[in-house]
């Protein structure tokens, strides 16, 4: 992902209009998240995206199936810089979220860009339970 702050001032000033357009562009969805959604659709499993499971805390799952399975796609930043979920505070917040989900009876599956294809196998196993 392009880090606009890393560009020299002269380039940012000269291309301010283009950079403003880039900031307004919608973020593309991660290929792993698309894969997970398509796997669920192909299996005929209904799901909800951005499901708020703990309203007072406003915690959300990327995907929820029924009232029991939460799926998180961890969007790790590959640039060497820390994204919001990779900071100590962000990681701690995620731990709080995942612990609360477990206390509420949710089963949680977590994936990254390196293991999302494992979802098909995990889904088969979890549906046997």
Query: CA nearest 110: which of 70, 76, 78, 82?
Result: 70
SS3 101: helix
Residue 73 structural domain: 28-128
Model confidence, pTM: 0.73
pLDDT at position 81: 53
Domain count, the chain: 1
pLDDT at position 25: 59
Contact 46, 84 (CB under 8 A): no
pLDDT at position 30: 87
74 found inside a domain: yes
102 found inside a domain: yes
Residue listed under structure tokens 């029924």: 66
103 found inside a domain: yes
3 found inside a domain: no
Give the chain's end-to-end CA distance (angstroms, integer): 40
18 found inside a domain: no
pLDDT at position 9: 72
pLDDT at position 7: 62
Residue listed under structure tokens 């399975």: 69
pLDDT at position 111: 96
Q: In whole angstroms, give the CA distance from residue 66 to residue 62.
A: 13
19, exposed or middle or buried, with CB in 10 Å at 0-12, 13-18, 19+?
Answer: middle
54, exposed or middle or buried, with CB in 10 Å at 0-12, 13-18, 19+?
Answer: middle
- Check which CATH number belongs to the domain holding 119 and give it: 3.40.960.10
40 found inside a domain: yes
Per-residue pLDDT tens digits of the chain, which is 129 residues long = 455 566 667 666 666 666 566 566 566 788 999 999 999 999 999 999 999 999 888 999 999 999 999 999 987 655 455 555 568 888 899 999 999 999 999 999 999 999 999 999 999 999 887
22 found inside a domain: no
SS3 80: coil
Contact 60, 49 (CB under 8 A): no
63 found inside a domain: yes
């Amino acid at each position: 992902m392009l880090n606009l702050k890393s560009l020299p001032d002269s380039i940012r000033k000269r291309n301010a209009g283009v950079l403003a357009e880039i900031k307004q562009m919608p973020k593309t969805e991660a290929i792993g998240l698309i894969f997970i959604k398509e796997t669920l659709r192909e299996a005929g499993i209904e799901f909800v995206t951005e499901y708020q499971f703990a309203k007072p805390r406003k915690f959300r799952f990327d995907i929820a199936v029924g009232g029991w399975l939460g799926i998180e796609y961890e969007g790790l930043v590959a640039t060497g810089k820390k994204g919001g979920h990779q900071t100590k505070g962000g990681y701690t917040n995620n731990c709080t979220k995942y612990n609360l989900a477990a206390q509420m009876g949710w089963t949680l599956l977590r994936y990254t860009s390196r293991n999302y294809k494992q979802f098909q196998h995990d889904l088969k196993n979890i549906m046997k339970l």
